[in-house]
A and B are shown apart, each in its own frame.
Chain A
């Protein structure tokens, strides 16, 4: 790799991106910050409240509960999707016609609008008309995701696994494709077992893409809104009310702008913090 040259005029090339993203990111973010420190009673009357909303949100049990649910959800789907995605990528044909077929079919769920994903799983899982619900009940399971929190959670997780595991598969497949044949040949000649091949050849090469996969899945699962909103609406009760759902309920449902804004900022900071931790942990020791 040749070294980059220092050139301050490069800012000209970056300027359009900065302007567009800043327009979309900074102005709304400032609006949120503004709300988060004020009280409103309608009629555009605002009063400065300082850190009040932050304190209120941070100490509210409701927030703790949704944050906990969110963390549970994210943890479970990461624990399922990442290993499953890697396993599927390992078992996939490496090239040729069947590899293309797999890629095209697997990418399908990624391109379906998120509310359609929710709606599709809703009619798939409904106990009276859905294939899944009907089958499970016929097999003797008591399954009804609109009434039982456990069924609701299971359905939500199955839906997310359905929706996003393919992303991990695609990434892992890309990582595996970049391993030259010579590595596998050398391993066979060295008498390496299948496990050793995975442990010493495939896993090290997957590290980079898996970092991306974990980060993306973490961010996106923390941001998830539309799919659970359509599938369960956060219910039954509040059992599947994740952070985003709760936030929208407060902001638009109750029009409590102050607490909603404070919560937004806390929420955003949590995502940034976790992403940063993941990133540092996973790339540690990779420095040249």
Chain B
């Protein structure tokens, strides 16, 4: 068990990187506390697998250092780092039985056979593999094989961290949900640090206590699911998390609030002065846009463009002075016909300068 610090990590797959564009990881500074359940969230190609491989020791970073409990492990091999990793596609040793597959990481480290047996049976029980322990691994279905991979990742008790690289990609949707709750439950039982890499926000938000969002090689935000939702640190987080994503529109600052196409918009908290010349944007989630009486003074006049029913609520797309603004209206609440006015909740209205939040 260990606390993991990543300091000034940069990585490029090219031999002589020069510009930022050559780096797959541009700048990463992170702290993973011991025993936490973390998710690393981002679209394909954002650098999350690279970061994972650097932590596990499969890759050596171009710059920066990795510390396990304050000790630098840059030059240590995956074996020496005492970590476990589960890959996107199931990796099983086809010629072995399920039992031998689960026992493999333990036997390689010379664990006595009696302990191996106890451990394998415990893990098989957790992952529902008990009935198949004596089957050849080759005959299993994709999700059976992935359960073996998960089991192999969890079988060792002395690991510093268990990492999952999009482990549910090949799993059927109904089993996905089951396995995900299983993982969450396992984490609560064994309390080992777990890092879960995914591009699926639902997976990340349900599994993790703390989510790290990556975008084009940068860590754009680290926080709890609620923080990511209520206060996206970067416009990318705003539109990547949430469905539909955050509304964004160009703005300028005036009178302690913001001004969008001549309309004054209130912001609850006091914000710092952004860097001169930065591109300013106002962001508000559809959940925090409400319809108000069109004659109210602080209402923003809009035209209704379309209404889409998603079941639980309706997504109303409006046109506000040429900007597309979406509002989420709960089932049963009225949606105005044509002329309408909206209001942004000042607590959850954010200002972004060059895509980063203005504190």
Hey, which bits of chain A sit against chain B, CB under 8 A? 180, 182-183, 185-186, 188-193, 196, 200-201, 204
Contact = CB atoms under 8 A, between A and B. Distances in A.
B77 interface: yes
Which among A186, A192, A200 has the highest number of chain B CB atoms within 10 Å?
Answer: A186
A190 B152 contact: yes
B58 A188 contact: yes
Contacts of B109: 191
Which among B93, B95, B105, B149 has the highest number of chain A CB atoms within 10 Å?
Answer: B93
A86 B109 CA distance: 28
B105 A204 contact: no
A98 to B, nearest CB: 16
A90 B104 CA distance: 23
A189 B96 contact: no
Contact of B94 (A180, A185, A186, A204): A204
Interface stretch (B82-90, B118-126, B170-178, B312-320): B82-90
A189 B93 contact: no
A188 B186 CA distance: 24
Interface string B340-357: 000000000000000000
Contacts of A204: 93-95
Contacts of B268: none
A88 to B, nearest CB: 23
A189 B79 contact: yes
Contacts of B53: 185
Contact of A185 (B87, B95, B105): B87
Given A186-B91, A189-B56, A200 B85 contact: no
B88 A200 contact: no
Contacts of A188: 58, 77-79
Nearest to A185: B58
B202 interface: no
B88 to A, nearest CB: 7
Contacts of B84: 189
Contacts of A183: 91
B96 A200 contact: yes
B89 to A, nearest CB: 6
Contacts of B56: 185, 189
Contacts of A193: 108
Interface of B: 53, 56, 58, 77-79, 83-85, 87-89, 91, 93-96, 104-105, 108-109, 149, 152
Contacts of B78: 185, 188-189
B88 A190 contact: no
Contacts of B108: 190-193, 196
A152 B87 CA distance: 54
A189 B85 contact: yes
Given A191-B105, A196-B108, A185 B96 contact: no
A209 to B, nearest CB: 15
Nearest to B79: A191
Nearest to A199: B95
Given A190-B108, A191-B79, A200 B93 contact: yes
A-B CB proximity, top 7 nearest: A191-B108, A186-B91, A190-B105, A182-B87, A200-B93, A191-B79, A189-B78
Contacts of A180: 89, 91
B95 A182 contact: no
B2 to A, nearest CB: 16
19 contacts: A182-B87, A182-B88, A182-B89, A183-B91, A185-B56, A185-B58, A185-B78, A185-B85, A186-B149, A188-B77, A188-B78, A189-B83, A189-B105, A190-B105, A190-B152, A191-B105, A191-B109, A200-B95, A204-B94
A128 to B, nearest CB: 53
B139 to A, nearest CB: 9
Given A189-B58, A189-B85, 16 more contacts: A182-B91, A183-B91, A185-B85, A186-B87, A186-B152, A189-B79, A189-B105, A190-B152, A191-B79, A191-B105, A192-B108, A193-B108, A200-B93, A200-B96, A200-B104, A201-B93
Nearest to B138: A204
A193 B77 CA distance: 13
B95 A186 contact: no
A188 B104 CA distance: 12
Contacts of A186: 85, 87, 91, 149, 152
Nearest to B94: A204
A95 B84 CA distance: 27
Which among A186, A189, A191, A200 has the highest number of chain B CB atoms within 10 Å?
Answer: A189
A201 B91 CA distance: 10
A191 B109 CA distance: 7
B138 to A, nearest CB: 8
Contacts of B83: 189
A180 B90 CA distance: 11
A199 B173 CA distance: 35
B99 to A, nearest CB: 14
A259 B96 CA distance: 52
Contacts of B77: 188
A183 B85 CA distance: 11
Nearest to A203: B95
A154 B149 CA distance: 49
